Structure 1
Amino acid sequence: MALENKLGIQDDIELAHEEEKLSKMRALELFESGMSDEFEIGTFAGLAQVHAQLFQDVYDFAGQMRTVDIAKGGFRFASVLYLDDALAAIDRMPQSTFDEIIEKYVEMNVAHPFREGNGRSMRIWLDAILRRELGVVVDWSRVGKEDYLSAMERSPLKDVEIKALLAEALTDRIDDRQVYMKGIDASYRYEGYGTYTTAELGA
């Protein structure tokens, strides 16, 4: 049974296709409009703005903190009971160096504040921090799916792998449309979405 959605879709596969198409179009709009320049950088409020932009056409909960506990692959994300406190602590984490930024990203992933769409929103959020603080972004097309998922799975206990993996993929092409679009496609592939490319949707 599909998550409750604005489209009235009840089939999981059909919803996945529509969600991918609509949210990728919104991701491209985010880049081309420059609206992300007005978002908070490195806070939950800023992440919620990204999430709301991506999923506004699909879910009523777009941009809103989840109200249920969730798990993935046997890993339980932060309990709803402590989510407010966890997010406040993450907001206070420093973000002036690469290591600090990735540590903040790892903690936000553990929090997983939304019902759906966490990873895709968080990678855009991470790039926004890197762009402002260090003048770089991750070229996600250079980060393999299995390597990324494996490193992220281990990151709550050992973040050296994800730091090394993302450090190798940094680029200073922060305003490059192709880097951004290919990065969005890679980000979606990590979550199993690959029906559309951002380029064809934005053509």
Structure 2
Amino acid sequence: MLKNKLGIQSEIELARVEERLSKLKAKKLFESGMLDSLEAGSFESLRVIHKELFGEIYEFAGEIRGVNISKGGFRFAPITYLKEALFKIQSMPQGSFEEIVEKYVEMNVAHPFREGNGRSMRIWLNLVFKKELGKVVDWSKISREDYLLAMERSVVKDLELKILLKEALSEECESGEVFMRGIDASYAYEGYCVYKTEELED
């Protein structure tokens, strides 16, 4: 299991604490307006989001990973080329729906952090959509199975992912309900579904 700042030795306990603390941080990011102050589409904005979500739990929060990682037999960008890849991704255009999704797919392949990439990147993606299109993805409209399959296939062909995301776009960019409902769905993709974001308090 991952070494953590809290000294937790149980994977089950760590998962519960991580879910609660990071969902609470996500809620604060939205309600404080901090998200809107970040530069949409930059790696720095993704780094800040990651650090805010997981900084209380992991030393590596907001730090580019120093190890190679894989998932389900797929190897993410090797650390030898990771910084170069992130620079190129940041420079990718994001003026249209198609360009934004393509940028998101490339960032997913890069997977810059040791843990918590997906949850951070979905917040980051909505920041780009909000700035460029005046819309956000309502993640609650996309099932876990459909999302994971589309992401797995997006490395070869991203059409399925584009269809899913386009159908889930919402114009309710400032809605706290849409944001928190989306956080719960986003976390459920990764198996975190104990807490409801809207009910969390310090």
**Which of the five TM-score ranges fits, normalised by the shorter chain?**
over 0.9
Secondary structure of 2:128's match?
helix
Once residues 165 and 40 of structure 2 are traced to their aligned partners in structure 1, the CA distance between those partners, rounded to angstroms, is 19
Cα displacement string for residues 28-71 of structure 1 (whole angstroms, at most 9, x for unaligned residues): 00000001122121011110011011011101111110000000
Once residues 72 and 12 of structure 2 are traced to their aligned partners in structure 1, the CA distance between those partners, rounded to angstroms, is 20
Alpha-carbon contact 1:3-1:10 (below 8 Å) kept = no
Question: Where does residue 186 of structure 1 map in the other structure?
Answer: 185
Once residues 23 and 49 of structure 2 are traced to their aligned partners in structure 1, the CA distance between those partners, rounded to angstroms, is 12
Cα displacement string for residues 151-201 of structure 1 (whole angstroms, at most 9, x for unaligned residues): 000001000000000000000000001100100000000000001110111
Once residues 39 and 58 of structure 1 are traced to their aligned partners in structure 2, the CA distance between those partners, rounded to angstroms, is 22
Stretch moving more, 159-168 or 5-14? 5-14
Secondary structure of 2:162's match?
helix
Equivalent residues in 2 for 1:63-74 (5 A)?
Answer: 63-74=62-73
Question: Where does residue 124 of structure 2 map in the other structure?
Answer: 125
Once residues 94 and 199 of structure 2 are traced to their aligned partners in structure 1, the CA distance between those partners, rounded to angstroms, is 35
Question: Where does residue 86 of structure 1 map in the other structure?
Answer: 85
Question: Where does residue 200 of structure 1 map in the other structure?
Answer: 199
Question: Where does residue 107 of structure 1 map in the other structure?
Answer: 106
Equivalent residues in 2 for 1:1-203 (5 A)?
Answer: 2-202=1-201
How far apart are 1:202 and its partner, in Å? 4.1
Once residues 86 and 138 of structure 1 are traced to their aligned partners in structure 2, the CA distance between those partners, rounded to angstroms, is 25
**In structure 2, what residue type is equivalent to 1:120?**
R
- Moved runs in structure 1, 4+ residues, more than 2 A? none
CA RMSD of aligned residues (A): 0.9
Secondary structure of 2:58's match?
coil
Q: How many residues align?
A: 202
How far apart are 1:10 and its partner, in Å? 1.5
**In structure 1, what residue type is equivalent to 2:27?**
L
Change (3 A) 1:148 1:30: same
**In structure 1, what residue type is equivalent to 2:48?**
Q
TM-score under structure 2 length normalisation: 0.98
Secondary structure of 1:120's match?
helix
TM-score under structure 1 length normalisation: 0.98
Stretches of structure 2 that go unaligned for 5 or more consecutive residues are none
Once residues 175 and 105 of structure 1 are traced to their aligned partners in structure 2, the CA distance between those partners, rounded to angstroms, is 22
